[in-house]
Structure 1
Amino acid sequence: MDLPFLQDPLTEEPDNICRFWSYFVRPAASLPPEEQRRARFVSAIFFTLTILYTLGETVRILITRTVGPHFPWAVLGLWLVYALSRTPYYRWASRLGVTLLGVIAWVSLATAPDPGLPVRPWYLLSVVQWLIYPLLLSALLAPPWATLGFGLVNLFVVVAIAHTRGWGWEDIKHAIMFLTGFQIFVLFVSMFQHRFTTMLQRQTRQLSRQRVFLTHLLNSITEPLYIIDAKTYQIILANEKAKEMGIHLHPQSPVYCYALTHRRETPCDQEDGHPCPLRQVREQKSTAVVEHVHYRADGTPYYVEVRGYPVLDDDGNVRFMIEYAIDITARKMAEAQIRKLARAVEHAAHGIVITNADGIIEYVNPAFTRITGYEPEEVIGRTPRLLRSGYHTPEFYRELWETITQGRVWRGEIINRRKNGEIYYEFQTIAPVMDENGRITHYVAIKQDITEYKQMQQQLEEAKRRAEQALHFKQAFLASVSHDMRTPLGAIVGYVDMLREGVFGPVTREQQERLNAIAQAAQQLLEMVNDLLLQAELESATLKIQRERVSLDKLLLSSRAVLLSQAQRKGLELRLERDPNLPPVIWGDFRLLRSILNNLISNAIRYTPRGWVHVRLYRVDKDHWAIEVRDTGIGMSKEQILHIFEPFYTTGERNRTGIPSAGLGLAIVRQLVEALGGRIEVQSEPGKGSVFTVILPLEPAPAGDTDRLSHDLIAEQHGVNPQATPTANDAEADRAGPSTGGEHHASGMANVGST
């Protein structure tokens, strides 16, 4: 940054010196400013002396027609001294010049012809007068001690030359007296000059330091600063920060403030939203503060606060304006954010309270008034204690206060009292607000009225209590119904089977058909009762899984005993298969596995008009085994597949099959499979049958007696002789096993294989 008004005025070229003279006395540019003045002075003296000596000697030569033997050397020496004064070695030029002038006077005195008496004293005096010039130069250019020494040398040389030529005291006393008196005068001049020069150098150095200090001071300002001409709007001075806006001051390329900061060709105007600070400063002669939008060098805009300060001339008029532009973009963005937040707070659905560090309320939003009934002027300056309902203990509020004063956020439910005395529930979040030093300055509380929610919660709890009572009643009812219905149903099924077997005498074909219908209806009713009991057990989460040894062959034969007669009545072939790679005995729950298998087989028989049902147990991998039930039934659509595991859902095929279904079988199967840690997958297409696959964890059990059929348990449950024929055992098991609904489901599982 250039500071022209802070430069040393003595180093500047005066305006009244012509360019010709300025050119011949201009010092070396590499010299410091405080030495340029002295160098210019030396150049001016030797340039003048050289011109005068050359012209004087030239006139003398023209008049006398004689040329002194030392004239060319003297002229050459003076021009060399002048040339040296234009270089950084100007100090040597001053010393050499003084010496040269003294030598000229000494040589003239030593080589001049003796004019004789009585002219000799006056001639000697005229020659000694040539020493005035080097003495004056020494007084102006050298310190006093050097001037005194040079004068004594001159006096000694004059006396020595006069004595050498044989001149007496009378001949040289006037010259010595003149030289001594002039030497005293020159010494005083040198002392004054030295003192003046020393003071001037000190002031120059001080001014230079001030200039450097002010330059650094202005450049250290982190915002653009300009000095603008009040008449022309031209920027005459700018700090380094202003370079970010692309400013480069040059006398030949003026920069105007409105062109630099606003990218426009005319000064700012109040009408376009940019009041001109210079115009305000010029009219009011005082500081002006306005907000503008300035542009950086790359064209990006930013907000600034412009401060203009007047600089007055001697007449009191504004000559310059100091403009200081503060970047307030972040502040403007923060103000906009604050306005948005304030608007959001004002329109928030929850009540917002702001207190100081002592808990005194400073602000509440309209939602607070809507919730509590208190107007802002009624609560500002007070504490939130006016909302207390008395339902909370002092320890509750003490813990709350300790939490927030430690800088943590408190969340919880509070029972408060409205202005009208009504009790209400609210969920509060209280957070401390800290300054940059981590000191708490305010607290912000967000209050959500949850009175309706609490009422709904109480209603839900009451509904839950009633539902639990109803569930308990349902379970008790189902248990009672199970006991009351299964016993007579078992007797009905048993006597029907005995009638069909001819125990009480032969039966006709028509009687056989009637007995089959009675047995089928009783069996369906028994299966429905079992499904309802198992569903209730699953819903109440009272299902207990037993870990026991399960013979898979016994499992298959148990299901065959239950469902073979049902398949035979429809003319279906029931195929059973166990993969040899599957261990014959595993750990599991026989009751649940039999329920899964019976439901899947019963479901397949229900929806298979003709053909067969194939049941296969096989090993999937090292840790899993599968139950696969494949049929040639009516199949399912993709839409039906999405819902078959929902309780009480049926596929809508009841009229086609003629077999009613409660819609619980597959829902129970899926819940049992999940309870055993497995999954169920299905494949099905309309008209192509279905494949249900249950994949369960595999845990082989120690081998046991797996060849003996497991009829003891079945016989024990239904009062049938365990040594009865397989057909009788099948019929008895048929009455014991659970039934299934008529649902189907599908998945993307590949076909596992068939018999």
Structure 2
Amino acid sequence: YDTIKDIKKINFALELETIMMHTDRYGVITYANEKFCEILKYKKEELIGQRFDMLNSHYHTQHFFDVLWETISSGNVWNDEIRNKAKDGSYIWLDTTIIPVLNDENLPNQYIAIYTDLSEKFKQSVNEHKIRTSSVLEGQERERRKIARELHDGLGQMLTALKFNIQGIKTPSSKKDQVHIEGIKQMIQETILEVRRISFDLMPSVLNDFGLAAALQHLSERFSIVGINKVSIEYVGLKDIGRFEKNIEINTYRIIQEALNNAIKYAEATNIILDLQFDDSCIHFSVKDNGKGFTPQDKRKSDGSGRGMTNIRERVSLLNGNLIFNSIIAEGTTITVEIPAIILST
């Protein structure tokens, strides 16, 4: 009797002080205590009978969850930190321990998940990271503007002057010299165009002058023209989305620029669809390609593609946005982003 009484006391204490959830062996929620419901902002009846991945925030890779399931289905305890998505769309970081409950055959027939709320810890960590990231990105943009001006006003002007001087040279009498001069003229013209391209990529004037939608239309056209492979980029978004804070415009532009570069250079895509929409104080955009796709392991590659996706994540996080990667090997990748924003002018 005393043992049963002690167990009841322990269960009562756990119920009061612990964030807890139970699932069956398939991951279907069978129990959630009050503190779990409170922190994830769901009612019990909304959780019971649903798979626990309804809380998936799409932050972690599929490989992350594959390891989780492999561990607990083998009868071992699993522990790590998980970002969950609450009912209201907010993100909750929880230190998660999943304990398998074994049957007589030593196989799991249910799982008990015990959580510790890490939200405040991660909020502080994320805010500090955002300050550092913002400082670095602002420094990069200042350097981009400086180099773009120097290329345009310095090197660009010198090349243009050289072009006019070459054109003023009297046409040589020999065919060989004529071909040589024409080759020099062609090389100078190509160098001028390349300097203009680099200058534009560093600081697109159309973004400052006409806003995000116009800049993305122009970017799509330029990528289609200068792509290494024959690539078609179709812009299906709004033609005029209005103007936003400068920080939002430049970071959104850089995210899409990076996504297009990844799709062409690493995914070897030949067809890309770029969409840009705005509603309910939120910018929505997606970049969908028909490239070779990637696996979670590819995100850590050292060829530059992994770094590109890291840059995208950091900029989305800086803007308090939400990012979803969806990729299928040999079929392509879709990057979908939502960024809170308010139109300043139309």
- Indicate the TM-score class for this superposition, using the shorter chain for normalisation: 0.3 to 0.5
Relative contact order, higher structure (CA 8 A, sep 6+): 2
Determine which structure has more spread, i.e. the larger CA radius of gyration: 1
Relative to total residues, which structure has the larger strand share, 1 or 2?
Answer: 2
State the TM-score, normalized to the length of structure 1. Answer: 0.21
State the TM-score, normalized to the length of structure 2. Answer: 0.41
